Structure 1
């Protein structure tokens, strides 16, 4: 840690304070500042008007490789642009001020300041900074002390500091040390937002800051340090907590890929933001619009600059859902010179060749991905028809352009849009796989599945891409599991599964998407996965991605006989597989999809490794989920309980599930609310049935009141067929459409067969629901149940990527 005290100040090297830093100050007498310190080892010189940095590849967080031709073109085009530049001197910090802040630092380090006195001391110390904010904030040592003061002062002193240094704030933000001071001041403002009385004062201070930042927008956005401060300012205006910005500033490629391959529709209404606090939406719109207006002449520089691209991406994400504002902002970012937006011609015809050319640039392609993700429908259609139509395969073939096409495909929202995209990319699926553009294919398959279109064609074309008509379909799944290895081998006809190699992440994701289709469409895939040799199935189950494929098959619409065939190949390996964090999920899925005899076999294998498995992080939950202790102590009761669960679930699925072939049940599933995922609802329904029938969760089985809880749970999951009707004399009739005897046949059978511990005989005569009455007649009532453990955390359905994810190289 950096020392704040006098010892640290004595160790400072002499500094020169006569150097200046130039920056654009359009319409201002103030000019840029360059602190007089020598640049550190890791500090790189910045040319604000150079389109491609010298360290572009080295400092590129996305790991894309820049296109040399584009970089050279843009550099020569923009680096010689002339801008009005002035300079100001940064005064040296006088010895008296240095001693004063050294004493303040020593007081904090020694703990000589009480918590009650801290705001007063910090406020008084900030008063001493008036007129000296620039030189103090950009000083290597004193800047640390300033951060401490800004964190400890009250909101009045904080706003006073910002108002006093408003004109110098852009230069403070662009400095290596000053940027930390600026960040700290914004985070301190966010803390005080909880006080409603301070909202007006904070609003006034931020308004002044935004006005000055807008005038200096080009320099701040292109600055390595200033761009980060500006993104924090934008997020503060939106109301996003600043303590969670690292994940928002630069989204990880794994998160982007997960969202693009998700089976849910995109949410253009901005509801993807969570934990929003009180913000300043009017300042957000003002700042974004004014920044772009002031930087309109230099927009070509901002498009291809790495740091300004980050700022523009953040601004667009924050405006997501505000179509009116986006239709004003995006054309300016694209370089539109039209003043009339009412014509609904957002992309100028003359700009289309330039847009296509710049898609090969790293920074611009990142920016275009976000534009496509947030673009309103009218603008997206114009992109699709005027920019990308006829060039989708060509753009996909480029290492940067392929990511833009992935964003384009993942953002499609209608059948007409998918018609155009599939017409160009669908027949070229094999060529895309051969040139290594697996992400484009995976996005295309996910979009078809999400929009329920081209399902048959996508399954057929993918299978044809890895297996010729003369070959056996058994090779389809193995080749997709090792997609890169297969397509890059010299003799594909002699390719064989090599043990010990990690499976291809995107290939596994493609198979997960495929197994969401109905069994009629994926018969070749089912034949392939069920014909894999047992030792290779075990190899796949041990792999993080391969295990997800096995799980997706067991959750698919394949027949129970086909699933049992695959599960049988893992006999003798469940104990070893359960020791792996990812393998435990596969074991659980196999247990769920098995009949009672296979469940008994799985439980016995886990019992053999129970002592070792219980020491792992995931082991206790798996042992509890499969009730291995119950199996060890009372195997007969355990088997009876598992049979009851299976009967209850089978009867429910027969009435409501996707496995039913009855048209009335299929129409019921189609009638579910749009936000309800059928697969997830059935999964939760299974959990509800397990909860009600599992004595491991309920030491005493369930009384009549618990049935109403199950019915309410079903209604929340979208199964609206559960209805309750109250009658005057206390009678309640429970009617279930399509299966009147469902509850009675499943629940009562479970109670009569199991006679679980904790239930007492009763002679009570009670007129209740047909189900509860039958339970009472069976002679059992429930004792109080203990709540389930809330600390159990498991992998969710939306977590579709197998950790650790292998990033796509850009």
Structure 2
């Protein structure tokens, strides 16, 4: 997202929106490695430490057998008759050696093909046979691809209602193994991704969903501008048949096992993504217990500063974004008042924390909360734009529209942030379209439209939002866009981001006369 941070101007997809993944989080013990912090912990409880993978050499006869299978598929393609039978027979040959073959860097490719093409009985048989070794397979570079292929194949077979029972028994066996020691999988580069896919299967979410794999590139504010910005919108992707009982069993088992290691898990690059994927809003993530929340007890004051510090960590800030998005009202209210109170601007100014604030604002429940947000941020629009945190302003504008409060003040604060009282209001729209260019300009009084410059993504989104307000709130913005010269109007219309601003203005409450004035300039 351009401009979200002065030192991070490129898109979030390329630069993770200005967040940086440190090689070692400041919350980690400097004397232990990433995995060591789990395996060497004295707080593991009853979990079993994952044994290192011991590879066995595959005998030449087996190598030759699977090579022939691979050649058979290569020569006959997808149209080969009785493909599922061949796959089933080959998987039967693998019985008792599933882990050995799944983690072999050559045979693993053939195993993926077999699991993709076999019937549900052969697939479930393979997974049940290697259930106890599933974590080891998932944490292997080659084996992780085999595990992913098996999970995707299970998902496809779920389209057949008759296969549900067999698949449920299979995933139940895997759940029991993972629940005993989830930490190793969560910390592991490959295991983390497999576990997220497995959680997707249980939850009934498409396996390619960016919500579960942490690949979503747009910020909360950007989503709010492209989609309906309602607090009660279901953020879960289109659901498919899943296993809700097993999902709850696995997630509750995971949290029970990892509760003493949660501080390191929630800031680790890989395990944090698993916590996001679980959508498990456990109060332990913010330093209290379920019993505390149910009994109306507050988050301990002594833990608040630590939580605020963690929100400046890349992985934890991502996690809290998800938590805020799906938190029940009682938990959201507790976080809003006890954790974020008097810290909104501090976090909004941080290159990671500002995304948490965007999530917090987008989920504001009522006008009283909006009032508290406005008290801290209402006078900070210029500071936020100057430091590249325009996403926070976009979230605030969207929330004011949704809750029907502070609408006029939002528009006034935005206009004041980009032009002074002794300046003509015609400069407002150009300066928002080119936020970076304007605020990085040393001599702002002589700033001019940058010919051929790239229009700002968030500036465009903010203007689209503005033109959805009632006419009486946005007179300066209407005046600004209608007073632009024909060349500037044409340049806006040709830009993919600017064109949406033109469209938003033409759909606004502005008078037909003013809309015709703009169209005539474009027509010329």
Question: Given the two structures, how large is their TM-score scaled by the length of structure 1?
Answer: 0.59
State the partner residue of 1:699. none
Matched, 1:101 2:66: yes
Contact 1:107 1:113 in 2 (8 A): no
Choose which of 135, 146, 151 in structure 2 pairs with 1:170. 135
State the partner residue of 2:57. 92
Q: Within 5 A, what are the aligned runs for 1:58-73?
A: 62-66=16-20, 71-73=25-27
Choose which of 261, 278, 284 in structure 1 pairs with 2:247. 284
Q: Within 5 A, what are the aligned runs for 1:8-157?
A: 62-66=16-20, 71-76=25-30, 79=33, 81=37, 82-83=40-41, 86-87=51-52, 89-111=54-76, 115-157=80-122
Q: Cα distance, 1:309 vs. partner?
A: 1.2
Choose which of 488, 503, 507 in structure 1 pairs with 2:455. 503
Q: 1:438 to 1:126 in 2, by over 3 A?
A: same
State the partner residue of 1:562. 514
State the partner residue of 1:230. 195
* SS of residue matched to 2:294: coil
Q: 1:525 to 1:439 in 2, by over 3 A?
A: same
2: CA distance, partners of 1:60 / 1:294: 35
Choose which of 428, 435, 440 in structure 1 pairs with 2:387. 435
Q: 1:559 to 1:351 in 2, by over 3 A?
A: same
Q: Cα distance, 1:247 vs. partner?
A: 6.8
Choose which of 466, 489, 507 in structure 2 pairs with 1:514. 466
Q: Cα distance, 1:203 vs. partner?
A: 0.7
1: CA distance, partners of 2:408 / 2:139: 55
Q: Within 5 A, what are the aligned runs for 1:346-361?
A: 347-361=299-313
* SS of residue matched to 2:379: helix
Contact 2:221 2:394 in 1 (8 A): no
Choose which of 366, 377, 384 in structure 1 pairs with 2:336. 384
Contact 1:78 1:300 in 2 (8 A): no
Aligned-residue RMSD, C-alpha: 2.5
Contact 1:261 1:410 in 2 (8 A): no
1: CA distance, partners of 2:258 / 2:112: 31
Q: 1:114 to 1:568 in 2, by over 3 A?
A: closer
2: CA distance, partners of 1:69 / 1:120: 47
Matched, 1:254 2:206: no
Greater percentage in helix:
2
Q: Which 5+ residue runs of structure 1 have no aligned equivalent?
A: 1-58, 317-325, 573-810
Give CA deviations for 1:67-99 in whole Å, capped at 9, x if unaligned: 879933435286464245644633221222222
Contact 2:196 2:212 in 1 (8 A): no
Aligned positions, number:
502
1: CA distance, partners of 2:365 / 2:288: 26
**Greater RCO (CA < 8 Å, at least 6 residues apart):** 2
Matched, 1:191 2:145: no
Q: Cα distance, 1:425 vs. partner?
A: 0.5
Contact 1:264 1:450 in 2 (8 A): no
Q: 1:64 to 1:259 in 2, by over 3 A?
A: same
Q: Which 5+ residue runs of structure 2 have no aligned equivalent?
A: 1-12, 42-48
Choose which of 423, 444, 447 in structure 1 pairs with 2:396. 444
Q: Cα distance, 1:370 vs. partner?
A: 0.8
Q: Cα distance, 1:542 vs. partner?
A: 1.7
Question: Given the two structures, how large is their TM-score scaled by the length of structure 2?
Answer: 0.89
Q: 1:382 to 1:134 in 2, by over 3 A?
A: same
State the partner residue of 1:330. 282
Higher mean C-alpha deviation, range 334-343 or range 441-450: 334-343
Q: 1:70 to 1:381 in 2, by over 3 A?
A: farther
Q: Cα distance, 1:481 vs. partner?
A: 1.5
1: CA distance, partners of 2:204 / 2:181: 23
State the partner residue of 1:220. 185
2: CA distance, partners of 1:88 / 1:547: 56
Matched, 1:543 2:471: no
State the partner residue of 2:264. 301
Q: Cα distance, 1:60 vs. partner?
A: 8.5
Q: Which one has the largest radius of gyration?
A: 1
Give CA deviations for 1:614-635 in whole Å, capped at 9, x if unaligned: xxxxxxxxxxxxxxxxxxxxxx
Structure 1 segments, 4+ long, off by >6 Å, are 67-70
Contact 2:324 2:363 in 1 (8 A): yes
Q: Cα distance, 1:193 vs. partner?
A: 1.5
